[in-house]
Amino acid sequence: MKFSGKNVLVTGASRGIGAEIAKTLAGFGLKVWVNYRSGAAEADAVKEAIEADGGTAAVIGFDVCDEAAYIDAIKTIVSSDGELSYLVNNAGITNDKLAMRMKTEDFMSVINANLTATFVGSREFFKAARKKKFGAVVNIASIVGETGNAGQTNYTASKGGVVAMTKSFAHESATSGIRYNSLTPGFISTEMTEVLSDEVKDAINAKIPMSRMGRASEVAQATAFLLSDHASYITGETLKVNGGMNMA
C-alpha cells in the first residue's frame, strides 16, 4: 500500500488489535508512535518488534481520557517530526453489566474513554493536519455500535457515537484534504477471546457467516487501507470487518 504521509499515532497500541495495527503500519514504512496508558513494558516490546523488522517506532505514554495529555502528545509528535500524518483512535474500555444495574458513572466512564477521547484526538489532529491540508484518521468502533448488545449499553452507545461523529468530522474536514473513516470489527481473536471455552467459541462462530472469528491482522490491514492513498476518495465511510455478521 502507498502512503504519502510519514508518521502515525496509534492509541492503545501496547497489545491486541492496537499492537497489530502499529506493526502493520510500520511494515508499510510509516514511523509509528505507540501509545500506552499503563503497559509500558508491552509498548516497548511492540517498538522492539517493529525495529527488529526494520521499521521505525517511538513510544508515547498518556491516558487518552486526559484531554491535556492527549493535546500535549500530539504537540510533542508534531514538534519531533514536523507533522502528524495519520491517527488511529483505537484505545477503549468496557464495563459490562445489564442496564438496570448500570450506574451513571459506569455509563460515563466508557463514554469518556471511548467517545470523548476519540473526539479530542480527532479534533486535535484536525488542528494539526489542516496546516498541510493532508491527513487521515481511522476511528476503531465496533459491530455492537451498529447492532446493540445486551449488557453493553454504555459500550454500544460509545461506539455508535464514534461512527456518527466520524461522519461529522468527515464533512467538516473534507475541504481541508483530511479524511475521517471508522471501522467496525466483529468478533476478533485476541488475548481476551483466548480465555473463552471452546463451547463459547463454537457458539460465537455459529453466528458468523464465515464461521470463524477475525484475526487482528485483518483489522490492521483494513485500517491501513483506509489510511492509505488507495482510499484517497473515501471519507465518512464505515468499513465493516465482521465476517458477514452484520451486512446492513
Compute the chain's Rg from CA coordinates: 17
CB of 142 closer than 8 Å to CB of 160: no
Q: Are strands 188-189 and 214-215 parallel, antiparallel or unpaired?
A: parallel
DSSP letter string, 127-182:
HHHTTTT-EEEEEE--THHHH--TT-HHHHHHHHHHHHHHHHHHHHHGGGTEEEEE
Closest among 59, 79, 60 to 70, alpha carbons compared = 60
> Of these residues, 36, 70, 86, 155, which one is catalytic?
155
Determine whether 155 is an active site residue.
yes
Catalytic residues: 155
